[in-house]
């Protein structure tokens, strides 16, 4: 029996693009990666308790006093920890959902965030199930570890088993953890942050090039990310959860290993509610 674990974290971009991203691998692969990741935390000008990608990129928290060269170096090392693993290594999965204009405040924001988290989790686990159908054996197990966010915990505890049943992962278990104590969540944070930035850039059709870190990650092993607008996903779910599951592979592709960047994979055009 092989034990698989997927670690999931969330990230925001431009204040309105919500992303869930993470990695799936066997327990043995995570254990193989552990020494390199832990050594990385000691490799900078000062030891850090965890690698938080947003803090590092923006020179906040434990990275506040770091120079640009130091923060760029540790980011490259973090990516190296992923890309240096021999096959099958880690499988990267992500989904981004864009909120409508004007959702930013009030009770509507909380409702939108809960819906986005639920739909992203449905889609993410649908991608895991797709991988499982090809790679898992009958006796293999799956554990889902989610970065602890108090605002989402009640939602996930209520719906997790229903989502797993809908996508064919009935035997999966889940738990919440904190990234400083469960280091693979820091790896999930890396892909979630980089994907959110790319999704935000694509939504607004900005001129920022694809980050080198994301290019390197997606260029190694299996990576896939999808994107959609909240109302589009809501329309699918309102027709029934099973139909939503059936449309998982029909969502626009944000990126995929082996495919050209920013070619035919673009955000669909939307009505006025999503004006940028």
Q: What does the pLDDT look like over 230-252, one tens digit per residue?
A: 777 666 555 544 444 444 556 77
76 falls within a domain: no
146 falls within a domain: yes
Q: What is the mean pLDDT of the chain?
A: 83
Q: What does the pLDDT look like over 88-118, one tens digit per residue?
A: 889 999 998 888 766 666 556 777 778 788 8
38 falls within a domain: no
User: What range does the domain containing 195 cover?
Assistant: 3-27+92-274
80 falls within a domain: no
Higher local confidence (pLDDT), 130 or 14: 130
Three-state secondary structure readout of the chain: CCEEEEEEEEEEECCCEEEEEEEEEEHHHHHHHHHHHHHHCCCCCCCCCCCCHHHHHHCCHHHCCCCHHHHHHHHHHHHHHHHCCCCCCCEEEEEEEECCCCCCCCHHHHHHHHHHHHHHHHHHHHHHHHHHHHHCCCCCEEEEEEECCHHHHHHHHHHHHHHHHHHCCCCCEEEEECCCCCCHHHHHHHHHHHHHHHHHHHHHCCCCCCCHHHHHHHCCCEEEEEEEEHHHHHHHHHCCHHHHHHCHHHCCEEEECCCCCCCCCCCCCCCHHHCC
Q: What does the pLDDT look like over 156-175, one tens digit per residue?
A: 777 788 888 888 888 899 99
220 falls within a domain: yes
Number of domains in the chain: 1
111 falls within a domain: yes
61 falls within a domain: no
Q: What does the pLDDT look like over 11-70, one tens digit per residue?
A: 988 778 899 999 999 999 999 999 999 999 999 899 899 999 999 999 999 999 999 999
Reported as a pLDDT band with limits 50, 70 and 90, residue 269 is very low
**pTM across the whole model:** 0.89
87 falls within a domain: no
């Amino acid at each position: 029996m092989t034990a698989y674990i997927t670690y999931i974290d969330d990230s925001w971009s431009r204040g309105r693009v919500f992303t869930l991203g993470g990695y799936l691998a066997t327990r043995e692969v995570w254990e193989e990666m552990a020494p390199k990741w832990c050594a990385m935390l000691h490799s900078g000008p000062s030891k850090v308790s965890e690698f938080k990608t947003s803090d590092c990129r923006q020179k906040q928290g434990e990275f506040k006093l770091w120079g640009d060269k130091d923060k760029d170096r540790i980011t490259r090392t973090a990516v190296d920890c992923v890309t240096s693993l021999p096959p099958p290594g880690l499988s990267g999965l992500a989904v981004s959902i864009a909120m409508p204009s004007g959702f930013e405040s009030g009770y509507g924001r909380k409702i939108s965030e809960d819906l986005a988290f639920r739909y992203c989790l449905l889609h993410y686990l649908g991608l895991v199930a797709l991988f499982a159908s090809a790679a898992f054996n009958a006796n293999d197990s799956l554990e889902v570890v989610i970065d602890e966010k108090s605002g989402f915990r009640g939602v996930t505890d209520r719906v997790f088993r229903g989502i797993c049943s809908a996508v064919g992962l009935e035997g999966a278990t889940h738990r919440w953890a904190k990234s400083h104590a469960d280091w693979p969540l820091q790896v999930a944070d890396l892909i979630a942050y980089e994907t959110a930035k790319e999704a935000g850039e694509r939504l607004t059709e900005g001129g920022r090039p694809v980050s080198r870190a994301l290019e390197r990650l997606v260029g190694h092993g299996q990576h896939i990310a999808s994107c959609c607008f909240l109302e589009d996903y809501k329309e699918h779910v309102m027709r029934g959860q099973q139909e939503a599951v059936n449309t998982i592979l029909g969502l626009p592709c944000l990126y995929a290993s082996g495919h050209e960047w920013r070619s035919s994979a673009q955000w669909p055009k939307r009505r006025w509610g999503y004006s940028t």
